[in-house]
Amino acid sequence: MAWLREQNLSADAVIDAVQFFLDGEGCNATFEGEYGNDEYHVFRVSFSDRPSVCLRVEHPRGHRVPGGEDERAICARLEGERRAYERLGAVDFHWSMRLFGASLGFDNPIGYPYMVLDFAGENRLRWSDESPGEPARSALLARLAGIQLQLIQRTLETREMTAYEFFKQKIECRLESIRQGNLPELVEQDVLDQLALLPEVLGDEKDNRQFAMEHGDLRAESIISGSHFNIEAIVDWGSAEMVPVAQAARFPPLLSCCESADDSPSGQMLRDRAAYTAAVACAAARPQPALPYPGEGYEDGSRAAALAAMRHAVVAGRRGLGAAVRHAPRGLDGLAARGGRGGRAARAPPPPEGVGGDDDNIYSCYCDDADDYYSCYTT
């Protein structure tokens, strides 16, 4: 029988938990309230002599037994997120919050694993086909493309594992979960189809050994924005991991359809993808960063590699094969979902009215000169 651990979320407990990681810094700590979402409580604590911080803790989940597998999984999730924040801090990625510390057990003032971070803001981006309007919409997408470029550039590394081996390992883990009865909604053939299609889906990228960090769930809810839809921070890095660079360069979930196999992008989403692609193109055509990042440097060639990966991801999407890879972070279920049990990546529909394009140009992007200039149009 599942039971829930009780969390102590009183103002005093939150302040005590925060101050444990501040090494005595911060005077006149004040509990400012909660700014959470469906998955996490986020509590802000302000000070008279330093910037605010926040305490972030999962909503309690059912546990079979104290100290059992479920509790270990909760701690493991937080440990993975802690490592992601530490990696981002080490490479001076400007768009994540600073990590002050993480309690990876249940013996603390909250009674549950938690972390303490910079407070980035309380307003999550509100995003729909209607809002925001132009020019704020295109400006935000351009900034988001630049942020993704910086994330790849800052975390890029070469590993012994190839992209094919990475995804093959994930597929085999999923197959084992099915055989253990942990994924009753799938059958073995679903995953075997994924494995058979993997070389086709990856194409020339299958032997690539370059990896970079991917946020994993970059939706509107993970973006802190200001009153004019400017991006202030990217939050919720619990799904982040190092993945093959072709995957790290995919369209973010904000621009993806993945609710069901029958979903197809709206006309506005196609226009958004075109604007995003145009921002990548502009960055590729300039010798310096397209966006003003403090202290940015590209002497090691990682910017060129990051740009090449993002341009390649755009081309893969235009050819219709990118759909499977774009949904792969969710355990590669997209490989099968896009075409039912057969697992074939479905070809995207033709562009709607208002999005120009020939039949093979579903994102309204054409290349006049592959080395110098990409040109995208939205009508």
pLDDT tens profile 323-365: 433 333 333 334 433 333 333 333 333 433 444 433 333 233 3
Give domain status of residue 1, yes or no: no
Q: Is the same domain home to 99 and 144?
A: no
The pLDDT score that the predictor gives to residue 259 is 52
Give domain status of residue 41, yes or no: yes
Q: Is the same domain home to 219 and 309?
A: yes
Give domain status of residue 179, yes or no: no
Give domain status of residue 37, yes or no: yes
The pLDDT score that the predictor gives to residue 348 is 37
Question: Residues 32-40: what's their mean pLDDT?
Answer: 84
The pLDDT score that the predictor gives to residue 69 is 53
- pLDDT tens figures, 1-22: 455 678 999 999 999 999 999 9
The pLDDT score that the predictor gives to residue 219 is 93
Q: Is the same domain home to 114 and 150?
A: no
Q: Is the same domain home to 34 and 148?
A: no
The pLDDT score that the predictor gives to residue 68 is 53
CATH number of the domain where residue 222 is located: 1.10.510
- pLDDT tens figures, 48-71: 999 999 999 999 876 555 555 588
The pLDDT score that the predictor gives to residue 29 is 94
The pLDDT score that the predictor gives to residue 204 is 87
The pLDDT score that the predictor gives to residue 228 is 86
Q: Is the same domain home to 52 and 102?
A: yes
The pLDDT score that the predictor gives to residue 281 is 80
Question: Do 310 and 249 touch, CB atoms closer than 8 A?
Answer: yes
Q: Is the same domain home to 228 and 281?
A: yes
Residue that terminates a domain, selected from 92, 118, 144: 118
**Is the pLDDT at 84 greater than 80, yes or no?**
yes
Q: Is the same domain home to 114 and 227?
A: no
**DSSP category for residue 154:** H
- pLDDT tens figures, 266-313: 999 999 999 998 888 887 666 654 444 444 444 456 667 776 777 666
The pLDDT score that the predictor gives to residue 227 is 82
Paired tokens of 96: 């994540």
- pLDDT tens figures, 171-183: 999 999 899 888 8
Q: How far apart are CA 161 and CA 356, in angstroms?
A: 40
| Alpha helix stretches (DSSP H) within the chain | 11-19, 69-90, 136-155, 163-179, 188-202, 245-248, 267-285, 302-318, 322-326, 333-337
Give domain status of residue 44, yes or no: yes
81 phi and psi, to 5 degrees? -70, -40
The pLDDT score that the predictor gives to residue 15 is 96
**DSSP category for residue 255:** G
Question: Do 93 and 56 touch, CB atoms closer than 8 A?
Answer: no
Lowest mean pLDDT among 11-20, 30-39, 186-195, 366-375: 366-375
Q: Is the same domain home to 139 and 244?
A: yes
Give domain status of residue 56, yes or no: yes
- 25-47 burial, b at 16+ Cβ within 10 Å, e below that, comes to ebeebebbeebbeeebbbbbbeb
**Is the pLDDT at 221 greater than 70, yes or no?**
yes
C-beta neighbour count of 58 within 10 angstroms: 17
Give domain status of residue 197, yes or no: no
Q: Is the same domain home to 15 and 73?
A: yes
The pLDDT score that the predictor gives to residue 148 is 92
Measure Cα distances from 243 to 162, 267, 309 in Å: 10, 30, 12
The pLDDT score that the predictor gives to residue 345 is 36
Q: Is the same domain home to 55 and 146?
A: no
AA letter at 186: L
CATH number of the domain where residue 54 is located: 3.30.200.20
Q: Is the same domain home to 68 and 30?
A: yes
Q: Is the same domain home to 253 and 140?
A: yes
Give domain status of residue 110, yes or no: yes
- pLDDT tens figures, 140-186: 999 999 999 999 999 999 999 999 999 999 999 999 989 988 888 88
Lowest mean pLDDT among 149-153, 189-193, 246-250, 279-283: 279-283
Q: What range does the domain containing 93 cover?
A: 11-118
The number of folded domains in the chain is 2
The pLDDT score that the predictor gives to residue 311 is 65
